[in-house]
Amino acid sequence: MNILFFIPQLGCGGAEVLLKDISLELIKRGNKVKIISLCEHHYSFINFPERALFTSTVSIEVFPVSFTNPISFLRSKEVKHLQKIVDEFKPDIIHSHLFLAEIVSRSLFYPDAKWFSHCHDNMRQLKPFALKDLINKIRLKENVEKWYLYYRYSINKGNRFIAISNDAQIFFQQVLPSYLNKITLLFNSINVDRFKKPINFQKSKKHQIQLTTIGSLVNKKNQAFLLSVTKQLKLQNIDAHLNLFGDGVNRKQLESLAIKLGVENHVTFHGNHPNVASYLWQSDIYVHSATYEPFGLVLIEAMAAGLPVVCLDGGGNRDIIEQNKNGIMVYEQNAELFAEAILKIATNEALYQQMSAYAVEYASRFDIKPYTDKLLALYMS
């Protein structure tokens, strides 16, 4: 089977790492895989898990596009070049990840393939158009893109959607017209072996509680809240240390906030790192503060490393947390309550060991191998 993936950009984000793991598994099973990336690789691509194996095994074509609006793009030379690439590859499956890839790929014509859209988030462009949106230029543009997509779906003989969480599935069921309501729920997955803690691994204990969080330093990830939680733990004379992995526009602002709150010695900004698994093994609890989370793949990674999770309710991560079994979800953005949840786990050794063991078992259900079986069955159904 020839499988063609479209993605906006390759980097270290959850969608990109998932795509990498899927591609390698599909190739192991005798399929031919090609990836078209619509932007140059993100700088974090240098830290891409198993980058050398990935780039030497998978056919990757970087084809930067200058997309402004669908109508002008449809008439551009870029479309002709992309169409030639697709025609030569002769895909059985065309599978897009994220919105730029969605709208660019659908500008092509290839009705002989089955088309799939991976719903990594709730595409706001598909939301119903309201009267008030008439004075909103962004919403007007998004509405044009929506109807363009619907038309292109029909030109290519339909479309199938893969929702990564119940939250995403409900969103697409609500916004899509009935004739496009072909949505399959398929939770995202990880390569579990990458995160398994080595046997007889010994932590180098430097603090009473080691907390870790991973994510881009942007508003929706809400790391400022975790700095407040760290302060709350300090006020209770708890020797806790917060490790933040990831980079982004909010880094300087967060570093300043840490100083303002007096927790700069209790926080380390690690930036992007090629091997977060080794840091997870040194940690005690994974903390996650995102206010919106389509699924929360990083929570599964932390669980695979043996960490219970404490998080806020981001929507999609409701599918992951089993309360007081593999973690605790705090439904109110309250630093005291969040710190209380951390201490409940960290100060009860029997509870901690029980939750850690269950977290590992739970994460094993999301391994990339059974996931690929399900994806192939969906492709062939």
Question: Looking at residue 26, what is its pLDDT?
Answer: 98
State the CATH number of the domain containing residue 135.
3.40.50.2000
- Do 306 and 282 belong to one domain? yes
- Residue 27 sits in the same domain as residue 41: yes
Looking at the fold, whether 56 and 131 belong to one and the same domain comes out as yes
Q: How many domains does the chain have?
A: 2
| 216 and 126 fall within a common domain | no
DSSP 11: S
Q: Return the structure tokens found at 300.
A: 């599964």
- Is residue 104 domain-resident? yes
**pLDDT of the residue at 148:** 96
Query: Does 84 fall in a domain?
Result: yes
Q: 26 in a domain, yes or no?
A: yes
Q: Beta strands of 187-239 (E only): which ranges? A: 209-214
Give me the pLDDT at residue 47, please.
Answer: 80
Q: Which structural domain range is residue 27 located in? A: 2-186
Q: Are residues 180 and 223 in the same domain?
A: no
User: Which of 186, 219, 248 lies at the terminal end of a domain, its last residue?
Assistant: 186
Is there a domain that residue 381 lies in? no
Please name the helix (run of DSSP H) or strand (run of DSSP E) that holds residue 240, with its range, or none: strand 240-245
Say if residue 342 is in the same domain as residue 212. yes
Co-location of 241 and 282 in the same domain: yes
As given in the structure block, the two tokens for residue 42 are 């993100």
pLDDT score recorded for residue 274:
72
Q: Do 150 and 200 sit in the same domain of this protein?
A: no
Contact indicator for 195, 226 with CB cutoff of 8 Å: no
Name the pairing type of β-strands 114-119 and 209-214. unpaired
Same domain, 343 and 239: yes
pLDDT-flagged residues of the chain (< 50)? none
Among 145, 30, 24, which residue's Cα sits nearest to residue 92?
30
Task: Please check whether residues 158 and 245 belong to one and the same domain.
Answer: no
The string of pLDDT tens digits covering residues 118-177 is 999 999 999 999 999 899 999 999 999 999 999 999 999 999 999 999 999 999 999 999
**Whole-angstrom Cα distance, residue 307 to residue 310?**
10
Global pTM value: 0.91
Q: What pLDDT is attached to residue 204? A: 79
Would you say 206 and 239 are in contact if contact means Cβ atoms under 8 Å apart? no
How far apart CA 269 and CA 313 sit, in angstroms, is 24
204 SS3 class: coil
Provide the pLDDT for residue 273.
82
Backbone angles phi, psi at 157, to 5 degrees: 65, 45
